[in-house]
A and B are shown apart, each in its own frame.
Chain A
Amino acid sequence: AQSVSQHNHHVILSEAASLELGCNYSYGGTVNLFWYVQYPGQHLQLLLKYFSGDPLVKGIKGFEAEFIKSKFSFNLRKPSVQWSDTAEYFCAVSNNAGNMLTFGGGTRLMVKP
């Protein structure tokens, strides 16, 4: 079975600070990796995804993530956060068969103006 760990449960940053949220997964086969964002009171939105190719993936709103296969990691980064980035962030992994999608526990980010 696959599992996803997000080690940071709560992160508080000031505006313009840099962000890195950790995501590690355990699965022996080929995976597809996702980061979703959920703004307060809203539904999940896809930030970015990795399937193959360049391990550095750029998403919307200035976010990027790097897939490091040897570390089973897919960390999310943003060089300079804004107050509007306050949200909950979920890492997710699907297997290549397309029959399973597993979410991490989420990281609640608060950006102070």
Chain B
Amino acid sequence: DTEVTQTPKHLVMGMTNKKSLKCEQHMGHRAMYWYKQKAKKPPELMFVYSYEKLSINESVPSRFSPECPNSSLLNLHLHALQPEDSALYLCASSQDAGDSAGNTIYFGEGSWLTVV
């Protein structure tokens, strides 16, 4: 069983709505990630937080806003999304990130997002 927990499992939202995806890990990991995955495609990196600071933003549109309240929690705030943003959003964590390689990434079960 994954130790990265994501809520909600499914979310349907309108293009004018504001919603949030939540992620929690209790493995003491210092890095957390958001990936986006479309059908039949690989996970695509969006953001990396290292020691609660945003370290990587893969040129993600501002309608996606990440937040890391503490080392165990990661949120993704959603506003004014488009139908093409519909996808599986995967949260993940690793022991460390940033200045060394060899970081195994553990994924949560994902949040299925549908924008109507």
- The answer to whether A and B come from one shared complex is no
Q: Which of A's residues lie within 8 Å of B, judged by CB?
A: none
Q: Which of B's residues lie within 8 Å of A, judged by CB?
A: none
